[in-house]
Structures are given as structure tokens and as C-alpha cells.
Chain A
Amino acid sequence: MRSAFLARVHDSSIAVLDALYSEPSVLLPVLVSDPAAYITAVSEAVLAKSSQASRALLRAHLSFLALHFLPEFSQDIVEDAFSHAIFPFLLFSKPKFRTAQAVWEIVEAAQKRVPNSGLAKCESLEGCVEIVKEEERVYSEKATTRKDKSVPSAFSNPEVMRRVNLAVASRMAGEYGSNSEGIAAF
């Protein structure tokens, strides 16, 4: 039964993934008995070359993973899933900034919806959403001051991308202060 569902995780049709993840309360009990199998399947699916072009596929997989699957598990499993399936998409680059932005939105939504487990308790992510939000806020404030309406997203700005990537990487490496003064230092 589980293997039939896991086979569909690799499907490249968004219609199939929408169906697969349409009833989390029904699917979840099938997957929780072997979390490693699902994490491996999702990691392979999101990193597969064929799915790299589709943000919709990535969003479907990572939304279920972050919002429904990971809150059921202990921190070591959350860290494992984070490092294999989520982290590869978190850093901003010019061609991938929309993908990174979408994944940060999923991370933030998961942390808000389930504040006591899952990604909210992921040590590697501690304080990272706040860094991203603060960089976005600072950029937006400056843009408002300049009355600059030409840039649709703070994260399309190369300087913001660089600052966020550096701050997030430093935080994950344990070298970043927990207050907002740290942000100003970059």
C-alpha cells in the first residue's frame, strides 16, 4: 500500500500530486510507519532534473512535508528531511529567487501553524525566517523611501540575495547573533 503511494511521489504530473496530497489525514497514517522511505522519495522527487522546472511540484511536495508530515516526528528525522529536501532550495540566486522565496514561505507557514514541532523545532532553521523577514522589511522600507516601485520583490535584488544567503548560512553554521544588530553588521 505504502509503496503504491510512494511510487506516485515520483510522478511529474501536478494533477497526480494534488490528488496524492489532497487528504493529509488519510495519507499520513500510511507514510508515518516508515518516515525514511517517504523522506527519500520526496528528496529524490524534488531534486530530480525533470522536476526542477516546476515550482508547483516543489510547492506540493514541500507543503505536505512541512505542514503535515514533519510535525509527527522527532527532531532527528526533521533535521534529516530538512537537510535533504528543503535546504537545497533555501539559498537565493538570480534564476531561482522565486523558488527560494516560495520555500521560505512554506517554512514560515509550517512554523506558524505548528509552533511546537516539525520545522518550528528544527535547530538548523532557528532564527532564519526572522532574518529573511527582516532583510525584506529593511529593503521594502528603503524602496518606499526612494518611492521605487520598479522592483516587485526584495529577493530579486542581488544585494538582498547576497545578504540573506550570508546571514542564513552564518546562522546555520552557528556564527550569527540572535538579535537584529547582527543583521545590520552585514
Chain B
Amino acid sequence: MVVASMDANGEIRAAAVQNMLRTLRESAGLDSESLVSTLSPLPYGP
């Protein structure tokens, strides 16, 4: 159960990272604050 939860959190964090990379790629002019906000809310990571 705990392992499944950790895996799910990892998938969520991975998706957040992908979103951030996509935003970075598509919006070179976007300010840093807006980009960082794409990572929130993240589940607690290691």
C-alpha cells in the first residue's frame, strides 16, 4: 500500500517535471516564477 502510494507520488512528480520542461520549451520568454508554479503543488518527495 505504502509502495503503491510512493509510486503514484513519483508519477505525479514526473508529470510535473515534464510539464515544467514543456513550458520551458514552448515559452522561452516566460518568467521563472510562472515556470516554478507549474511544479506546485507537488507531493512530498525524497
Contact = CB atoms under 8 A, between A and B. Distances in A.
Interface residues of B, number: 20
A14 B7 CA distance: 10
Contact of B21 (A12, A14, A15, A19): A19
Contacts, number: 59
B28 to A, nearest CB: 9
Nearest to A20: B17
Nearest to A7: B45
B25 to A, nearest CB: 5
A26 interface: yes
**Interface of B: prevailing SS:** helix
B35 A27 contact: no
A15 B14 contact: yes
Interface string A1-42: 100110110111111101110110011001000000000000
A8 B32 contact: no
Interface bracket on A: 20 to 34
B13 A1 contact: no
A150 interface: no
Nearest to B32: A1
A179 interface: no
Interface string B14-44: 1101101100110000001001100100000
B13 A13 contact: yes
A144 interface: no
Residue among B7, B35, B45 with max Cβ neighbours from chain A (10 Å): B45
A13 B14 contact: yes
27 contacts: A1-B32, A1-B35, A7-B45, A10-B45, A11-B10, A11-B13, A11-B45, A13-B9, A13-B13, A13-B14, A13-B45, A13-B46, A14-B10, A15-B10, A15-B13, A16-B10, A16-B14, A18-B14, A19-B14, A19-B18, A20-B17, A20-B21, A23-B21, A23-B25, A26-B24, A30-B24, A50-B46
Interface of A: 1, 4-5, 7-8, 10-16, 18-20, 22-23, 26-27, 30, 50
Interface of B: 6-7, 9-11, 13-15, 17-18, 20-21, 24-25, 32, 35-36, 39, 45-46
